[in-house]
Amino acid sequence: MSDEARVIALFYGLMQLDTVNPPGHEQAAAAYLHRQFSAAGVPCEVQELGGGRANFIACIGSGRPVLELGGHLDVVPCPGEWRHPPLAATEEDGLFYGRGACDMKGGVAAMCAAALGLYEEKAPLRGTLRLAFVADEEHANLGMHAYLARYPAADWAVLGEPTDLQVAVAHRGAARFYIDLHGRARHAALPAAGETAVTRAARAVLALDALNIRLSGLRHPVLPGPSLAVTQIQGYEKDNVIPARVRLLTDHRLLPGTTQAQARQLLENALVQAGITDFSLETRFFMPGGELPADDDFARRTCAVTGRVLGRGQTPRAFGASCEQCFLLQAGARALVFGPGSLEQAHTTDEYVSRSQLLQAAACYRALALEMLNGDG
């Protein structure tokens, strides 16, 4: 099978499987990849997580060093009106449409095609080429945590998230908190009698907006500064009742190194400084930022290799969303992000990836494996 045919066949196979999260059901995709790799004779396994959730892991070669090509099998839901069936791959004018086309079944297909091609031709790899595709990246990272609990960290890792085939070395973290503003419920027809939960919430929104302006002034060599936004306000009880509680949901994008406790303290300080004291905070979600230094040897070599394949220069840059690079870095791998498709297409109606980028990505992954596992370390 030609390299192009292998990439496209794997892509079509993955795109036809419903791995929308929730509920996920990544076991179907993991089983599909298991059939492909087992048929080729590659040692592999489906790591069962229960409830239809599963990871897929395959290893070509043995011992150190280990280069990991990885990503996630789940995709986000498919709301809105699509011109093309979302749970399929429809090609039109060189673009493949469907949910997960760029985020990130395209990257998974390209990585798998590169690995299977290297195995088929008995490429002289010294060490291990490991593929690791996990469940639940789009929600709570269940699959990544289960994978890292079972497998030792790779020496180097590439996540195939959509970067438009640019080498990304850092991403911001994300913290989401519920902020409950408290007051006394009362009839809406009664005269004003002090601050209510609603007016307290209004002042809180302004205080958080001011904090966002201050945070935006922070600088990082690669990443944009931190950001903070109120994304939800809830408080309705009845048409003629001023509610006793108003709940805000905040989304805070963090620079690498910022902890959950530090993010929480920033919110608390901003509210207290604005004179707001009757509130409580609850963590909804936290993912740290991640950063591989731009001058790291792996980043440098990845830029050089992919630049040669693509015929253009590569400069390390930021990945525009949160991703699981942070967990790989915490485990000890030197991890970066590189994959086909644009992040601007991720999670959109009629999401797409180009045929050309799928093929180029596979060629880049192949070349990187040959570079890193050539015995020179």
Write out the DSSP string of 41-69. T--EEEEEEETTEEEEEEEEE-SSSEEEE
Give CA–CA dist 150/59, Å, rounded: 14
Annotated catalytic residue within 68, 103, 137, 155: 137
Classified as helix, coil or strand, 191 is coil
The residue annotated as part of the active site, out of 74, 136, 350, 351, is 74
DSSP single-letter state for residue 296: -
- Using CA atoms, how far residue 253 sits from 87, 228, 271, in Å, is 31, 6, 18
Nearest to 362 by CA among 114, 128, 187: 114
Q: How many CA atoms lie within 13 A of 232 on its CB side?
A: 12
Question: Distances in Å between the alpha carbon of 15 and those of 32, 53, 137, 343, 355?
Answer: 11, 17, 17, 18, 14
Nearest to 99 by CA among 143, 138, 139, 134: 138
Q: Is 74 among the catalytic positions?
A: yes
Helical spans, DSSP H, in the chain: 3-15, 27-40, 106-120, 142-150, 197-215, 260-273, 297-310, 325-331, 355-372
Catalytic residues: 74, 137
